[in-house]
Structure 1
Amino acid sequence: MLDPMTTMNISLPETLKSFVDEQVNERGYGTSSEYVRELIRRDQQRQQLRALLVEGAASGATTPVDGSYFESLRTRVRNAHK
């Protein structure tokens, strides 16, 4: 289910408004709101990825992986989709 929409008003200098309008027209967005929502979603994903990378970097060393490790991952994925 989609989250209910709410309104947020933002002020932009004319140069940024023009840029947003160009992006909406050139990239096929229906409205500037769609474009801004997409930017926010991408930023959320970027932050989530960064957090995972930081977590992984802080988790310490693991044993090296080899071909059999990746094959076991492929098998798990195949079995999960059955």
Structure 2
Amino acid sequence: MRTTQQLSVTLPTEMAQAVKEKVRSGEYASESEVIRDGLRALLARDRAVDNWLLQQVGPAYDALRADPSRALTADGIRARLAAKHAGKTKA
């Protein structure tokens, strides 16, 4: 049973040249390897975003819904950032 599938991909000229340059430089053995590595990076990024949403954003949202008094106003956030920035710029 075949474990690969051939696809036809159309890329903008700049991207196609970048792929070819990766092969020309010896960084990759083939254009297919460049595309596979890029897709692996995309899938890893998608997994990282999904994990962040599940492990941090979701629980923070649930906590805020359970206790709305934990919310910060936009003015409160700006004040915190300004104070933090002022503390870093003082020398």
Coarse TM-score class (shorter-chain normalised):
0.5 to 0.7
Q: Can you give the 5+ residue segments of structure 1 that lack an aligned partner in the other structure? A: 62-82
Higher helix share: 2
Deviations along 1:35-61, one digit per CA (max 9) or x if unpaired, are 000000111011001100111111247
Q: Are positions 1:28 and 2:31 aligned together?
A: no
Distance 2:33 2:54 in 1: 32
Q: TM-score if structure 1 supplies the norm length? A: 0.61
Distance in 1, matches of 2:54 and 2:11, equals: 36
Which consecutive aligned stretches of 4+ in structure 1 deviate over 3 angstroms post-superposition? none
Task: Give the number of equivalent residue pairs.
Answer: 59
Counterpart residue number, 2:59: 59
Q: Percent identity?
A: 20
In the alignment, the residues of structure 1 paired with residue 24 and residue 51 of structure 2 have an alpha-carbon distance, to the nearest angstrom, of 34
- Look up the equivalent residue of 2:59 and give its one-letter code: S
**Could you state the TM-score of these two structures normalised by the residue count of structure 2?**
0.56
Two-structure CA RMSD over aligned residues (Å): 2.0
